[in-house]
Amino acid sequence: MTEATSFDAVVIGAGFSGMYMLHRLRGLGLTARLYEAGGGVGGTWYWNRYPGARCDVESVEYCYSFSEELQRDWDWTERYPSQPEILRYAEHVADRFDLRRDMRFRTRVTRAAYDEAAARWRVETDRGDRVTARFVITAVGCLSDARIPGFPGAESFRGESYHTGRWPHEEVELAGKRVAVIGTGSSGIQVIPVLAELAAEVTVFQRTPNYTIPAWNRPLQPEYARWVKDNYADIRRRMRDSLFGIAASFNTGSALEASEQELREELEARWAHGGPGFLGAFADTAVDPRANELVAEFVREKIRQTVEDPRVAELLSPRDHPIGTKRPCFDTDYYATFNRPNVRLVDVRRTPIEEITAAGPRTAEATYEVDVIVYATGYDALTGALLAIDVTGAGGAALREKWAAGPRTYLGLMTAGFPNLFTITGPGSPSVLSNMFVSIEQHVDWIADCLRHLAESGATVIEADADAEDAWMRHVGEIAAATLFPRANSWYLGANIPGKPRVFMPYAGGVGTYRAACDEIAAKGYEGFVMS
């Protein structure tokens, strides 16, 4: 049988967004082809196999809600799900909904060009596929374009090097080895304590210290899991209406108005509970630098209490950005790891890595001889994976050019000039500021409803209106400007990628508010979109 080359929709990416999108497209009776660069489903969780990789949203909240049977049948085993368990879940979903038959793995979409005359997208892949589709839906992930800084000499290193986001599928032998870890974001903070257990020596190259809150991971108690399942409807509703898509309670009170005792009690209680709820202690920490400093200092005090060497404790203490303005980290034994005799910390803010020699990283002060280099150096976030595809819209306009000064979207769902192209959790939507499952399901459901509306109204093309997009981008910018987010050099702003425009990319108004805006726009006949 010859392969079909014409579809209603092409979906790019087999992570949790692409999988659910494919399922919804089928439910609408549409034909679809899904391309995936990796060798299996799971997206982030297919690639991020580094030791200690674990989600920091609670397992019972980091999963689909669209199928009552699925959420009843699946049993999580830990408070926070490990990467292997999340990958098993992704594979279970693919099997359960028979998704793989429309997927093509190890196939990277290289080009998507809109043919105005035909009102269809022409899609090409690195394996020579040439297909057309009415709609293209990108589900390429927000943190999927792994980046290693261009250190001179990196290729001359005679040991092994790995990026956390491209970790090998085979076991990496670490026993007895000397390991360098470059980067102390979420990935570094998760991998370092585990490497310290496995390897002979770990040298951590830190440029910017991060605030990290204990995760207090533990086995999931069966009674609690049962309670969650019995109360899912209410829990999911709370998550959808929340700021960040999680059920943890976020207080509305002010840190500045709290007495010293109230402040300490609230922070201690949230520290003891662990996880993302810590930042929900006081509402003004996100907007008021003085309130923020009270919480930041509480964390620094914890660091001083944990880390035995005061010099190391000070080096680990963040002072250059308010807490919560970079993606918060959640850890298992991160600070205590620096008390181990086989772990040392190198401050590359003071002495940057000048090159990677055959023996290992060299700073102005020393060459560090190692057997393995682990790059926990992050991603070209939110736009990298999408702009890696040569996307051209109406009139042959290139997306890379349109977004040269920063991404521009309407609701993070579409970008003007690119008809019938949808972006799941695109820039301009809450995406990375939320539990991704909540944002993914909301986007996929919104897109599916929109496609049904198009079919019912006899239209075949939908496009964001340029004025609506401008207004939305202003709104996204205003909300970010009212917070402390712009004060950090974070990947939210593209600050980690040399030359990337400094634009705060996600929508910071919360998933509940955002959902209401999307629903209202749909209810008004897709206001701000043009259909033909």
Among 17, 186, 285, 420, binds ligand N01 (CB under 6 A): 186
**List of E strands, 439-531:** 462-464, 529-531
Q: Do residues 202 and 181 make contact, with C-beta atoms less than 8 angstroms apart?
A: yes
| x/- map, 362-401, ligand N01, by CB under 6 A | --------------xxxx----------------------
| Structure tokens given for 375 | 């790059």
Dist. CA 219–CA 221, nearest whole Å: 6
Q: What residues contact 127, with CB distance under 8 A and at least 6 apart?
A: 104, 106, 107, 108
For residue 455, give the 3-state DSSP assignment. Answer: helix
Q: What residues contact 428, with CB distance under 8 A and at least 6 apart?
A: 407, 408, 409, 410, 411, 412, 472, 473, 476, 505, 506, 507
| x/- map, 128-157, ligand N01, by CB under 6 A | ---------------x-----x--------
Measure Cα distances from 356 to 14, 157, 158 in Å: 35, 6, 10
Kindly indicate which of the ranges 128-136, 192-200, 202-210, 238-246 contains the residues binding ligand N01, using the contact rule CB under 6 A: 202-210
Minimal distance in Å, beta carbon 496 to ligand N01? 5
If you search the block for the tokens 């579809």, which residue do you land on? 7
CB-based burial label for 88 (10 Å; 0-12, 13-18, 19+): middle
* Composition of the chain by helix, strand, coil, percent to 5: 35, 20, 45
Size of interface with ligand N01, in residues (CB under 6 A) = 27
Among 13, 40, 51, 185, binds ligand N01 (CB under 6 A): 185
Closer to ligand N01 by Cβ: residue 334 or 526: 334
Closer to ligand N01 by Cβ: residue 267 or 353: 353
Minimal distance in Å, beta carbon 333 to ligand N01? 14
| x/- map, 40-59, ligand N01, by CB under 6 A | --------------xxx---
Structure-derived torsion over alpha carbons of residues 96, 101, 102, 103, reported in degrees to the nearest 10 = 90
If you search the block for the tokens 């309130």, which residue do you land on? 291
Minimal distance in Å, beta carbon 134 to ligand N01? 33
Question: Across the chain, which distance is largest between two alpha carbons, in Å?
Answer: 73
Beta bridge partners of 374: 162, 181
Considering the rule CB under 6 A, would residue 182 count as an interface residue with ligand N01? yes
Closer to ligand N01 by Cβ: residue 168 or 176: 168
Dist. CA 245–CA 434, nearest whole Å: 5
Considering the rule CB under 6 A, would residue 407 count as an interface residue with ligand N01? no
Closer to ligand N01 by Cβ: residue 107 or 377: 377
Q: Do residues 201 and 178 make contact, with C-beta atoms less than 8 angstroms apart?
A: yes
| x/- map, 418-447, ligand N01, by CB under 6 A | --------------x---------------
Q: In the 8-state DSSP scheme, what is residue 434?
A: S
The length of the chain, given as a count of residues: 532
Among 312, 353, 356, 391, binds ligand N01 (CB under 6 A): 353
Kindly indicate which of the ranges 183-191, 288-296, 420-428, 440-448 contains the residues binding ligand N01, using the contact rule CB under 6 A: 183-191
Minimal distance in Å, beta carbon 147 to ligand N01? 8
Closer to ligand N01 by Cβ: residue 35 or 368: 368
Among 42, 52, 183, 528, binds ligand N01 (CB under 6 A): 183
Closer to ligand N01 by Cβ: residue 107 or 317: 317
Q: Do residues 131 and 5 make contact, with C-beta atoms less than 8 angstroms apart?
A: yes
Minimal distance in Å, beta carbon 54 to ligand N01? 6
Q: In the 8-state DSSP scheme, what is residue 505?
A: -
Considering the rule CB under 6 A, would residue 90 count as an interface residue with ligand N01? no
Closer to ligand N01 by Cβ: residue 209 or 509: 209
Among 17, 144, 184, 337, binds ligand N01 (CB under 6 A): 184
Dist. CA 30–CA 7, nearest whole Å: 8
Q: What residues contact 451, with CB distance under 8 A and at least 6 apart?
A: 25, 28, 30, 135
Closer to ligand N01 by Cβ: residue 121 or 491: 491
Closer to ligand N01 by Cβ: residue 353 or 473: 353
Q: Do residues 206 and 348 make contact, with C-beta atoms less than 8 angstroms apart?
A: yes
Site for ligand N01, residues 239 to 268, rule: CB under 6 A:
none
Among 65, 138, 190, 203, binds ligand N01 (CB under 6 A): 190
Site for ligand N01, residues 272 to 331, rule: CB under 6 A:
327
Minimal distance in Å, beta carbon 77 to ligand N01? 17
Q: What residues contact 482, with CB distance under 8 A and at least 6 apart?
A: 287
Minimal distance in Å, beta carbon 84 to ligand N01? 14
Closer to ligand N01 by Cβ: residue 352 or 525: 352
Measure Cα distances from 381 to 83, 108, 161, 283, 432 in Å: 20, 18, 22, 27, 9
Among 179, 348, 416, 464, binds ligand N01 (CB under 6 A): 348
Q: In the 8-state DSSP scheme, what is residue 286?
A: G
Q: Which residues bind ligand N01 (CB under 6 A)?
A: 54-56, 143, 149, 164, 182-188, 190, 205, 207-208, 327, 348, 353, 376-379, 432, 491, 496
